[in-house]
Structure 1
Amino acid sequence: MQMLAIDLGKQSFHIYGITGDGEVVSRKVSRAKLPDAVTKLQPQSVAMEACASSHHWGRVFEELGYTVHLIHPRFVKPFVKGSKNDAVDAEAIFEAANRPTMRFVPLKSVEQQDLQALHRTRDRLIVQRTALINHTRGLLAVDRRAKGTP
């Protein structure tokens, strides 16, 4: 098998691939059985939509010796056929990953993800601080107008 596409979920994942004989492999796999299922199919590469957990699974599959391709979700969306479900998403990831001009997201290390989480937390705190300051100014402005002060 050349490539195996995986649609990541919380408790279960959907895998999709085509064997050398042309047989379509499309099935649901539990979280605990995912590494074994991938090892059993022995693909040359694994493709997933890029998200926080895809970096974790990407590192797991790289340790097992597979080439990992992460695709930004906006590049997968045009390949979704019909109503959205896990099987359709896995097939869309497969189709997108096999495009010769597809751009992939680099796999992040644990340290890179930690640093990104730190930056995002800081940004969120800044937004919340600004919102609180603006809210307080609004309340104080209402109080001044009620007392007749300009």
Structure 2
Amino acid sequence: MSAPVLGKSYDRPASLDQPRTPRARSNSNFEKYAWVFMRLSGLLLIVLVFGHLTIMLMVDGGVKRINFGFVAGRWASPFWQIWDLAMLWLAQLHGGNGLRTVIADYSRKDSTRFWLNTLLAVSMVLIMVVGTYVIFTFDPNIS
């Protein structure tokens, strides 16, 4: 038995606030697949982003050569279109999945969680649609 310190007894642990009650479990493996996606997309993003940074900042004169013509020449190649598209989509999905987890952890009301997730999904889709549109419809011949 421990001795009281400053009038407190440490025989039993201090009470902690109860965590948010988890929602009913489903038989879905969505969270497992989301966890696996975060790990795999993170690894692929490391390759894509460091490749992007190496090409943009270190090869053939680095930053000095980046201008409209450089982007036009780069996006004339389907390889670079797919590279940039993969980077855009993976970054959006990876970041959105992480933010979805943060929303689930910190929003107390179901209605707040619903609206934050709705706002997140709409913004992700909007950015992916606009980014994809720009990558594939970029016209280097500005009139």
Bin the TM-score by the shorter chain.
under 0.3
Q: Comparing both chains, which one has the higher relative contact order based on Cα–Cα distances under 8 Å and sequence gaps of 6 or more?
A: 2
TM-score (norm: length of structure 1): 0.24
More helix by share: 2
